[in-house]
Structure 1
Amino acid sequence: MRQENCLNPGGGGCSEPRSRHCTPAWARVKPCRKKGKERKGKERKEGRKEGRKEGRKEGRKEGRKEGRTGSHTCTLKHIHAHPIIQTPVALGHLRVSWPAALSSSLWATARALLLLCPTPSWLYKFPPFAPSLEQRPLTPAQQTRQDQSVPVGSMATKCGNCGPGYSTPLEAMKGPREEIVYLPCIYRNTGTEAPDYLATVDVDPKSPQYCQVIHRLPMPNLKDELHHSGWNTCSSCFGDSSKSRTKLVLPSLISSRIYVVDVSSEPRAPKLHKVIEPKDIHAKCGLAFLHTSHCLASGEVMISSLGDLKGNGKGGFVLLDGETFEVKGTWERPGGAAPLGYDFWYQPRHNVMISTEWAAPNVLRDGFNPADVEAGLYGSHLYVWDWQRHEIVQTLSLKDGLIPLEIRFLHNPDAAQGFVGCALSSTIQRFYKNEGGTWSVEKVIQVPPKKVKGWLLPEMPGLITDILLSLDDRFLYFSNWLHGDLRQYDVSDPQRPRLTGQLFLGGSIVKGGPVQVLEDQELKSQPEPLVVKGKRVAGGPQMIQLSLDGKRLYVTTSLYSAWDKQFYPDLIREGSVMLQVDVDTVKGGLKLNPNFLVDFGKEPLGPALAHELRYPGGDCSSDIWI
């Protein structure tokens, strides 16, 4: 076959011998012929046989058309590369297998027409046009699933080259135990003139380097304030074997730079792959102060912003190409950014994304001022976006919901509800979809403030700064950074969460500290200071990450360098720590692992502030299923 007649998107000719495995039987095209000028040869005969089997009239009609134009494409060896017809209907990979419902003649006509031009990009948003998992002969496991009529969308954990991540959240729970963890370490506001860096920590109990920082990747600039991170691709691209989770994307909260780190070449010693300078983001997006990074099913990377170039509030979204990491522009329509920004989560089956808000960068850059709360400069809204139209369709005002930060839909992609942690109000709010298609919100958990003496204000909030859902959507976890406790709630009934575990890991109200608790609705006495392996822990539990199986919770103690400096001065002097908590997934409950401690106060260049955690294979807060 000539190269120009091959539908191989890579541009190369057909190198494989023709076989039934190369092209699904239903997708083979009858060979073309000109009237009165039959082509001879074995290939023509084989093609004619296949043509008789299906789509006879339509295939012959298309053959005549092709013949009149001088084209004589025969059996297409690489027809499986076409994004629409490559998926075998019998395998049940289509959420709605409407091609199977068509007669073979109608489908042959549709197939022939679709081959004449590329598939419009917008079609890829719909399930029938998802990339095929079958680009090679069936493995025994795949053949077994086909024979057993596997339900649509299901896939075993080990299915060959299925692309990144896992087919479902429950499949992810069967994934391997984490062996290393990546987390950014910050030097801004610590007094150490050194760049932030990405630390790699060994968390394998069988390793001789257990609980040690085994690698440090410094960034090339100072005072970036690395904060959160995400992947170039994740479980939203499961099923696309052309995608792989190889790069960690680290936006900078203060400098607005984006660092792309290669974690696949040497997972235990990552390398800097690319630096995206602020000027590129400013020029194409008009956004700055970047926060959450999520990978999209399109293969793009989407990053939320807190503000514009001048530090005013602007909750927009930067889009990066997931392969080249070039800045493509904004996800939202021109002029359609939210007033403020912070975190976001999307749920395509309900055509929705919801974003949260912190404050304008100029308000929070150098610390917390209670007067800014009184002035209404901190956020108290959720923004509901139309996922297809990229525009805000509803704004939810949160009663008792000051500073909504981390947001989590249930992992089940069919679910139309989730939770958001409101820091200053110390509440967990449940958001949900109504029968009419609009969205509502209700408070389901309230952490009462404590009346205190010797602190910034007469009442101290818990300050919920991070929340997580287990992959089976059974348990909700959150941290009270100021009170110092980590909590576990059973949310099997999302409207009525039930407290099942609580553990104090430092905080501002420990005995012997400067704060005296005058009135407490929950505790009878102030908790004891936390000492692990001889180290008194400064700060309180902040960022949390759960193992895939839900049995281990990792915790760090730094929130944001300016707030660390203000609320926990000893955290700046001593550095943050990383802890590990054992989780009872049967009855519920939390227990500190006394043998696990990573002390970032002993770093070579001085005490550092470690923040968000990521596992190489994905986790509870970076992967979204569609």
Structure 2
Amino acid sequence: MPHANGHDIDPTFYRSPAEAIAAPPERLAYVVAFDRTAERPDALTVIDTDPDSGTYGEIIGWADLPTRGDELHHFGWNACSSAFAHAGHHTDGLERRYLLLPGLRSSNVHVFDTKPDPRQPTLVRTVEAGELADKAGYSRPHTLHCGPDGIFLSCLGGANGADGPGGIALLDHDTFDVLRAWETDRGPQYLAYDAWWHLNQNIAITSEWGTPSMIEDGINPDLLLGNKYGHCLHFWDLAKGTHIQEVDLGAQHQMVLELRPSHDPEATWGFAGVVVSTEDLSASVWRWHLDGGTWRADKVITIPAEPADPELLPPALKPFGAVPPLVSDINLSVDDRFLYVSCWGTGELKQYDVTDPENPREAGSIRLGGIVGRVPHPSAKDEPLAGGPQMVEVSRDGRRIYVTNSLYGSWDDQFYPAGVGAWFAKIDTDPDSGGGLTVDDRFFPHGNEFRGLRAHQVRLQGGDASSDSYCFR
């Protein structure tokens, strides 16, 4: 796509959701995998997603990190469709080329180049923890999004041993230098987790998990039952970095994690997932929306806990005699029609029709793994699975859903004490037929294919449902 000044714009920068949906399907998936023992390097793996390929569903690329003990978590592209929101950048050769991999435990950010050979990414830079601390005042980077003004890196901890506040570091698109802390006035915000935005409305949204001391050794029962984990949404002026409004979902709704704003650039609503209610162990999904000049949030989905034999439960759950869903990720299709909700505790992936976002309707469900169910993959029916659908990613055309099974090292160990293993699955759906989910029995890299590492997040070649935001209809 040529620009008026003669420069070419990266064809994976999509002006609108419809353009993204119509683009060629992904042929590769990038999955980060980490070593819980910190004895081996974490890795960026590459999986073949071309169904006509002889290596379909296999790991075809592998890049070790130069360090150990990073615990790779949520990673992302240096640039994406949001490039259209800031004048100048997309005419200067900016392209979706580099993957930035934050280490949640090390506070390092490793930068890999996918352009020379997309199947064999190469390390080009490591942004070290000291630079993140010195220039932005943060540590424990968690989530990374390409956005206006630069790369937004959400961090859980403060610098120089400070447990908080967490917040967002801004990195340069081209050099990957840490520029500064994004916030100029944080108001009451202290806890951090995800960050997203409504670009055309100049609104950013952030969510809350906990500080490093609250999460790194697993869920702390005293903190959980005391309702000390995050339970608020925060709304900001995106350009200025100033806090506008806090919306408290209620202290019992513990751990407001993933944010998925509508892809329609003119819409002013989105969904947030809540891990657990301390009232009844249920999980929930909330819809935020602009009501006049005020941001509000309403619970639109409740997923109850499932009764279970205490003998089958890990120690943390035995007193309750139930398996909480533990909603750890959600994902909204690019056409804003279907919401996917991963219930890591019960092993269920739910699909909701959200064409009426105020009234979601369940349209499909599959189960893999689960604390009690251990539902096997259809390609390996004699192999009970640990973990469950955790990170969930949706293809741009909404027809393929990818899930990995590890949440966070210490939490894996707490809820799956016999071992969580490693697996990566693909689920098919047909949006034109109203949804419904089918597990692809040809696609299941798992176990030794990950060389003893745990699989966490996935990014798709050319972008996916949670990597891009759009400026035009």
* TM-score, length-scaled by structure 2: 0.91
What letter is aligned with 2:274?
A: C
1:623 matches 2:468: yes
For 1:477 and 1:424, how far apart are their aligned partners in 2?
17
* Alignment match, 1:471: 334
* Alignment match, 2:291: 434
For 2:350 and 2:186, how far apart are their aligned partners in 1?
40
For 1:361 and 1:505, how far apart are their aligned partners in 2?
30
* Alignment match, 1:378: 229
* Alignment match, 1:554: 402
The answer to whether the Cα contact below 8 Å between 1:249 and 1:259 also exists between their aligned partners in 2 is yes
State how 1:408-487 maps to structure 2 within 5 Å.
408-425=260-277, 426-435=283-292, 437-452=293-308, 453-454=310-311, 455=313, 456-457=316-317, 458=320, 459-487=322-350
CA 289–136 in structure 1, closer or farther in 2 if over 3 Å, else same: closer
Gapped runs of 5+ residues in structure 1?
1-131, 138-159, 514-527
For 2:459 and 2:6, how far apart are their aligned partners in 1?
32
Q: CA deviation at 1:336?
A: 5.5
Residue aligned with 1:550, SS: coil
For 1:164 and 1:208, how far apart are their aligned partners in 2?
26
Q: CA deviation at 1:588?
A: 1.4
1:402 matches 2:254: yes
Aligned length: 449
Which of structures 1 and 2 has the bigger CA Rg? 1
For 2:459 and 2:376, how far apart are their aligned partners in 1?
28
Q: CA deviation at 1:412?
A: 0.6
Q: 1:225 aligns with which of 71, 76, 91?
A: 71
* Alignment match, 1:506: 369
What letter is aligned with 2:294?
A: T
Q: CA deviation at 1:164?
A: 4.5
For 2:260 and 2:116, how far apart are their aligned partners in 1?
31
The answer to whether the Cα contact below 8 Å between 1:133 and 1:162 also exists between their aligned partners in 2 is no
Per-residue Cα deviation, 1:108-128 (whole angstroms, up to 9, x for no partner) = xxxxxxxxxxxxxxxxxxxxx
State how 1:561-572 maps to structure 2 within 5 Å.
561-572=409-420
* Alignment match, 1:257: 108
CA 221–474 in structure 1, closer or farther in 2 if over 3 Å, else same: same
State how 1:18-33 maps to structure 2 within 5 Å.
none
For 1:327 and 1:136, how far apart are their aligned partners in 2?
30
What's the RMSD between the two structures over aligned residues? 1.9
1:590 matches 2:437: yes
For 1:311 and 1:593, how far apart are their aligned partners in 2?
45
Per-residue Cα deviation, 1:260-309 (whole angstroms, up to 9, x for no partner) = 110111111000010011011111111111111111233x1110111113
Per-residue Cα deviation, 1:167-203 (whole angstroms, up to 9, x for no partner) = 1011101111111111110002xx4610101001111
Q: CA deviation at 1:538?
A: 1.8
Q: CA deviation at 1:162?
A: 5.5
The answer to whether the Cα contact below 8 Å between 1:197 and 1:218 also exists between their aligned partners in 2 is yes
Residue aligned with 2:458, SS: coil
CA 352–335 in structure 1, closer or farther in 2 if over 3 Å, else same: closer
Gapped runs of 5+ residues in structure 2?
278-282
1:304 matches 2:161: no
1:532 matches 2:388: no
What letter is aligned with 1:218?
A: D
What letter is aligned with 1:569?
A: P
For 2:45 and 2:68, how far apart are their aligned partners in 1?
16
Residue aligned with 1:280, SS: helix
* Alignment match, 1:544: 392
Q: CA deviation at 1:327?
A: 1.1
What letter is aligned with 1:542?
A: Q
The answer to whether the Cα contact below 8 Å between 1:558 and 1:610 also exists between their aligned partners in 2 is yes
What letter is aligned with 2:62?
A: R
Residue aligned with 2:153, SS: strand
Q: CA deviation at 1:493?
A: 0.5
* Alignment match, 1:127: none
Per-residue Cα deviation, 1:232-254 (whole angstroms, up to 9, x for no partner) = 11001149242211111111111
Residue aligned with 2:413, SS: helix
For 2:216 and 2:386, how far apart are their aligned partners in 1?
22
What letter is aligned with 1:302?
A: F
The answer to whether the Cα contact below 8 Å between 1:305 and 1:314 also exists between their aligned partners in 2 is no
What letter is aligned with 2:457?
A: E
Residue aligned with 1:236, SS: helix
Q: 2:19 aligns with which of 148, 171, 188?
A: 171
The answer to whether the Cα contact below 8 Å between 1:539 and 1:570 also exists between their aligned partners in 2 is no
Percent sequence identity over matched residues? Answer: 38
The answer to whether the Cα contact below 8 Å between 2:336 and 2:354 also exists between their aligned partners in 1 is yes
The answer to whether the Cα contact below 8 Å between 1:196 and 1:219 also exists between their aligned partners in 2 is yes
Q: CA deviation at 1:489?
A: 0.5
For 1:311 and 1:272, how far apart are their aligned partners in 2?
30
What letter is aligned with 1:598?
A: P
Q: CA deviation at 1:227?
A: 0.3
For 2:129 and 2:41, how far apart are their aligned partners in 1?
17
CA 602–569 in structure 1, closer or farther in 2 if over 3 Å, else same: farther
The answer to whether the Cα contact below 8 Å between 2:371 and 2:386 also exists between their aligned partners in 1 is no
CA 599–618 in structure 1, closer or farther in 2 if over 3 Å, else same: same
For 1:179 and 1:530, how far apart are their aligned partners in 2?
22
The answer to whether the Cα contact below 8 Å between 1:163 and 1:237 also exists between their aligned partners in 2 is no
Residue aligned with 1:502, SS: strand
Q: CA deviation at 1:530?
A: 4.2
Higher relative contact order (CA 8 A, sep 6+): 2
Over 6 Å off, 4+ runs: none
For 1:438 and 1:334, how far apart are their aligned partners in 2?
19
1:348 matches 2:199: yes
Residue aligned with 1:613, SS: strand
Residue aligned with 2:457, SS: coil
CA 496–204 in structure 1, closer or farther in 2 if over 3 Å, else same: same
State how 1:285-364 maps to structure 2 within 5 Å.
285-298=136-149, 300-309=150-159, 310=161, 312-333=163-184, 338-364=189-215
1:183 matches 2:15: no
For 1:386 and 1:334, how far apart are their aligned partners in 2?
10
* TM-score, length-scaled by structure 1: 0.69
For 1:337 and 1:302, how far apart are their aligned partners in 2?
20
For 1:287 and 1:161, how far apart are their aligned partners in 2?
33
For 1:374 and 1:548, how far apart are their aligned partners in 2?
39
For 1:402 and 1:590, how far apart are their aligned partners in 2?
29
Q: CA deviation at 1:339?
A: 0.7
1:270 matches 2:126: no
Per-residue Cα deviation, 1:563-609 (whole angstroms, up to 9, x for no partner) = 1111113434xx21011111121221001111211014344xx4211
Residue aligned with 2:176, SS: coil
Q: CA deviation at 1:338?
A: 2.3
For 1:547 and 1:280, how far apart are their aligned partners in 2?
34
* Alignment match, 1:115: none
The answer to whether the Cα contact below 8 Å between 2:28 and 2:50 also exists between their aligned partners in 1 is yes
1:581 matches 2:427: yes
For 1:277 and 1:463, how far apart are their aligned partners in 2?
33
What letter is aligned with 1:414?
A: E
Whichever structure has more helix as a proportion of its residues is: 1
